[in-house]
């Protein structure tokens, strides 16, 4: 075991094995980074396609709304205000119905001891 040639060969083999392990680790890290970049790019492309679909749908809705307008002189802002007024009326009637249910619920509570 104390043979200098044997020790030198053992040291060089150990150094060589460590270099191989280091290269393998670097290769795995590079592969992970490439996979992460590819996934990011795929996600970005997917998000862009979704955004494009949303934009085209919004444009289509605007066109349908513009074609279906009853009064062509009326601005989009005025129509939005009218739509909000009608939706708030529906909300108020829904709240009133909910309050009536709560009142009837309070009247029908049975307390037994």
Structure tokens at 2: 């104390």
Cα-based torsion angle of the residue sequence 10, 15, 18, 19 in order, rounded to the nearest 10 degrees: -140
Give the model confidence (pLDDT) of 47-66 as tens digits. 999 998 888 888 877 777 67
Query: Is 95 a residue whose pLDDT tops 90?
Result: no
**C-alpha distances out from residue 8 to 12, 15, 22, 99, Å:** 6, 11, 21, 91
**Is the pLDDT at 105 greater than 70, yes or no?**
no
**Per-residue pLDDT tens digits for 10-50:** 999 999 999 999 999 999 999 999 999 999 999 999 999 99
Pairwise CA distance, residues 20 & 28, whole Å: 12
60 alpha carbon, distance to own chain's centre: 24
The whole-model pTM stands at 0.43
Q: What is the pLDDT of residue 58?
A: 82
């Amino acid at each position: 075991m104390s043979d200098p040639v044997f020790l030198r060969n053992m040291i060089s083999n150990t150094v060589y094995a460590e270099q191989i392990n280091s290269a393998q680790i670097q290769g795995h890290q590079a592969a992970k980074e490439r996979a992460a970049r590819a996934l990011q790019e795929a996600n970005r492309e997917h998000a862009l396609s979704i955004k494009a679909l949303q934009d085209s749908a919004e444009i289509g809705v605007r066109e349908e709304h513009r074609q279906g307008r009853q009064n062509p002189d009326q601005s989009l802002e005025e129509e939005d205000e009218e739509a909000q007024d009608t939706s708030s009326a529906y909300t108020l009637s829904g709240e009133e119905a909910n309050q009536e249910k709560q009142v009837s619920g309070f009247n029908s509570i049975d307390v037994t001891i």
